[in-house]
Structure 1
């Protein structure tokens, strides 16, 4: 060093203060996740199937993570509001999405202008459960199966409508498939929530509907609705005698599912921790019993990568149905 430049102690300290802190030597370690409450976004109203299932899970997760997991219901736009909110959230593990296949892959299949891409904007963490949706009728309708429904609608064309929880919903696409194979015509009436469907069914203003298999179970047991079929690859726990669509001649056996997602960019250790705790909760006998009471017996224990493959494969299935029947939501 030249003798012409003799830095003072003050100059040295000022220079050191201006240097960025390195992760190893100077930066403080980030707080371990989770260090504050977690928000769980649900694309459905309180009392709906997704809401009921999510609240069963959050009770156990809150205890396991030692932080409150707070439910944030965001119904509307067939789930787009909640999913968009999740995607726009920081990828820090403090905003988590609890969503069904209807609100994710089915939405993407029918909405070409969707403001997100399920495959690139969300990270699949863990699949919660899989099953089907119920096709139900008003108990006064002389219909007990698909054959009865087809005969009734053909005998009285133009008289009956059917309800689902939204344009482009799982129920909407499945019913269009049924209509095609059975050669019947039913007008679609979309609702914002399943609760509104139940109100109109009980009031006699609607006679046929697709609804989730969880929230509808109490209505069926009380005799307020009659289930005539369930979608999916296998029968649901209740009504145990209820045959699937495939068993009744409709070539459809894709399962509906619920799962946990986080925004892209969420650190891998956070994804792994969340996956571990959710799967640990799903293996607890008391939680499995509670899910069985909610009409969900299939609780697959999958890795995050396996769930991601399920999401991608199901997106192709629903895209095929949407294209076949030209179902689009603009």
Structure 2
């Protein structure tokens, strides 16, 4: 027998009360934040800072679970298939969520349809760095040296189709300077070879290279953000020399699509409070991470903007991963 309109109303009200009751007791057990990159990278650094603060705010244990592989696809897919209860979250970066769908022939998740945006966490510029003995002292000099070179200048990246790779391709297109991409399996070996002189240039996220810059092992020529980074105030943004050049790496927290709205709302409030906390701000500053404010709408907007921005650049670069 079909339920009446009144019975539908009762069922709906009962369901809403159930969701609210669930949210009132959430989290009643440890929460796992999946980081689809290896320990030690930018996302892992941000994840551990965030997890500690969320643990304080929620009075519950927050676990960081690193699940690297396939450019972040393995961990992202795991989080997408997790129970929709808010106990398995995804802390990811824009390159995995916005670039991989255009880069990989087969992506096991939909970056928009499979996830509930919770909140942006931070933004990280990439840095154009050179070996300490490289003749260019600034970006304008670099462009002159590159144009005068008889051979294409090589630049290292964290891998084929990575944001580091595409930033180099975008710089080459924007300036007309031919650059030869040299992919590595991660940013650490790429920077090791730049410091060792095997490759003269690299793009790398600020947290991964800031200590090498401060120690003089690498020279920073420019940051990829629209404005200078507070962590490197003397290093100009690339856009000061190449107008319109912008390519930040943002970090955002997501849940599996279908996670109850009251749970998402509670998580959004905690993340917003965490990112504004003085101790978190100080740790972000040391790591070269700038905090990002805003809730689900802002994170969804960032994702859509980057999907639209990077898809044509990936196509122009010719980068494809099976």
The bucket for the TM-score relative to the shorter chain is 0.7 to 0.9
Q: CA deviation at 1:250?
A: 4.9
List structure 1 runs of 4+ shifted beyond 4 angstroms: none
Instruction: Identify which of 17, 33, 40 aligns with 2:33.
Output: 40
Q: CA deviation at 1:325?
A: 3.6
State whether residues 132 and 195 of structure 2, in contact with CA within 8 Å, keep that contact through their aligned partners in structure 1. Answer: no
If each structure's helix is expressed as a fraction of its own residues, which one has the higher value? 2
State whether residues 45 and 193 of structure 1, in contact with CA within 8 Å, keep that contact through their aligned partners in structure 2. Answer: no
State whether residues 157 and 185 of structure 1, in contact with CA within 8 Å, keep that contact through their aligned partners in structure 2. Answer: no
What TM-score results when the alignment is normalised by the length of structure 1? 0.86
Q: Name the count of aligned residue pairs.
A: 306
Map 1:189-208 onto structure 2 (within 5 A): 189-208=182-201
| d(CA) in 2 for partners of 1:236, 1:128 | 16
| d(CA) in 1 for partners of 2:73, 2:243 | 29
| d(CA) in 2 for partners of 1:68, 1:62 | 5
Q: Secondary structure at the match of 2:116?
A: strand
Query: Which residue number corresponds to residue 323 of structure 1?
Result: 315
Does residue 60 of structure 2 align to residue 82 of structure 1? no
Map 1:176-195 onto structure 2 (within 5 A): 176-195=169-188
Cα deviations by residue, 1:6-43 (Å, 9 ceiling, x for unpaired)? xxxxxxxxxxxxxxxx968xx9x658221211111112
| d(CA) in 1 for partners of 2:188, 2:286 | 20
Does residue 97 of structure 2 align to residue 104 of structure 1? yes
- Gapped runs of 5+ residues in structure 2? 1-12
| d(CA) in 2 for partners of 1:136, 1:295 | 15
Instruction: Identify which of 116, 122, 133 aligns with 2:126.
Output: 133
Q: Secondary structure at the match of 1:120?
A: coil
Cα deviations by residue, 1:249-269 (Å, 9 ceiling, x for unpaired)? 253224321111111111111
Cα deviations by residue, 1:184-236 (Å, 9 ceiling, x for unpaired)? 33222222222222322232222211111112111110111111111122111
Instruction: Identify which of 297, 302, 309 aligns with 2:294.
Output: 302
- Gapped runs of 5+ residues in structure 1? 1-21
Cα deviations by residue, 1:129-172 (Å, 9 ceiling, x for unpaired)? 12421111111111222322233333334363211112111121
